[in-house]
Structure 1
Amino acid sequence: MKKTIAIVGAGPGVGFAVAEKFGKEGYNVALLARNMEKLNALKDDLLNKGIEATSFQANILDREQLSRSLQEVINHYGTIDVLEFSPTPTWDSMRTARNIDVVNEQHHLDYQVLAAITAVQAVLPQMLARKDGSILFTTASSAQHPVNRTASFGVAAGALLNYARLLNMDLKDDNIYAGIVSIGALVVSEGKHKGDFPEGMPTITAAEVAEAHWKLHQQRAVAEIMLP
Structure 2
Amino acid sequence: MTKSIAVLGAGPGLGQAVAHRYAREGYAVAIVARRQEPLDRLAEQLTREGARAHAIAADLADTAAIPALAERIRTAVGDPDALYYGAAANGFVPVLELTPERVDELMPLSVHALLSLVREMLPAMIAKGDGAILSAQGASARWGNPDIAGGVALAAQRNLLQALHAAVAGQGVYVGGLYIGAAIENTPFHARMESARAAGDPVPDIPSVDPADLADLLWTMHHQTRPPEAVYPVA
Give CA deviations for 1:38-77 in whole Å, capped at 9, x if unaligned: 2112111211222211011221111132221122111222
- Aligned equivalents of 1:199, 1:106: Cα separation in 2: 27
Alignment of 1:160-199 (within 5 A): 160-189=157-186
In the TM superposition, residue 221 of structure 1 has moved relative to its aligned partner by 2.4
In the TM superposition, residue 199 of structure 1 has moved relative to its aligned partner by 8.4
- Aligned equivalents of 2:141, 2:171: Cα separation in 1: 27
Whether the 8 Å contact between 2:111 and 2:157 is mirrored in structure 1 is yes
- Aligned equivalents of 2:66, 2:19: Cα separation in 1: 19
- Aligned equivalents of 1:199, 1:39: Cα separation in 2: 30
- Aligned equivalents of 2:3, 2:204: Cα separation in 1: 42
Runs of at least 4 residues of structure 1 off by over 6 A? none
Which residue does the alignment assign to 1:61?
Answer: 61
Q: 2:102 pairs with 104, 115, 120, which one?
A: 104
Q: Report sequence identity in percent.
A: 29
Secondary structure of the residue that 1:149 maps to in structure 2? coil
- Aligned equivalents of 2:67, 2:85: Cα separation in 1: 13
Whether the 8 Å contact between 1:94 and 1:149 is mirrored in structure 2 is yes
Alpha carbons of 1:97 and 1:132: their partners in 2 closer, same or farther (altered >3 Å)? same
Q: Which amino acid aligns with 1:119?
A: L
Alpha carbons of 1:34 and 1:200: their partners in 2 closer, same or farther (altered >3 Å)? closer
Secondary structure of the residue that 2:147 maps to in structure 1? helix
Which residue does the alignment assign to 1:17?
Answer: 17
Q: Which amino acid aligns with 1:164?
A: L
Q: Give the TM-score of the pair, scaled to structure 1.
A: 0.91
Structure 1: where are the runs of 5+ without partners?
A: none
- Aligned equivalents of 2:64, 2:108: Cα separation in 1: 13
Q: Which amino acid aligns with 1:122?
A: E
How many pairs does the alignment contain? Answer: 222
In the TM superposition, residue 164 of structure 1 has moved relative to its aligned partner by 1.1
The two structures, once aligned, show a CA RMSD in angstroms of 2.0
Which residue does the alignment assign to 2:128?
Answer: 130
- Aligned equivalents of 2:207, 2:15: Cα separation in 1: 20
- Aligned equivalents of 2:21, 2:205: Cα separation in 1: 29
Which residue does the alignment assign to 2:221?
Answer: 216
Higher mean C-alpha displacement, 138-147 vs 197-206: 197-206
- Aligned equivalents of 2:88, 2:122: Cα separation in 1: 23
Structure 2: where are the runs of 5+ without partners?
A: 198-202
Alignment of 1:47-126 (within 5 A): 47-90=47-90, 94-126=92-124
- Aligned equivalents of 1:141, 1:94: Cα separation in 2: 12
Whether the 8 Å contact between 1:66 and 1:119 is mirrored in structure 2 is yes
- Aligned equivalents of 2:154, 2:26: Cα separation in 1: 31
Whether the 8 Å contact between 1:86 and 1:137 is mirrored in structure 2 is yes
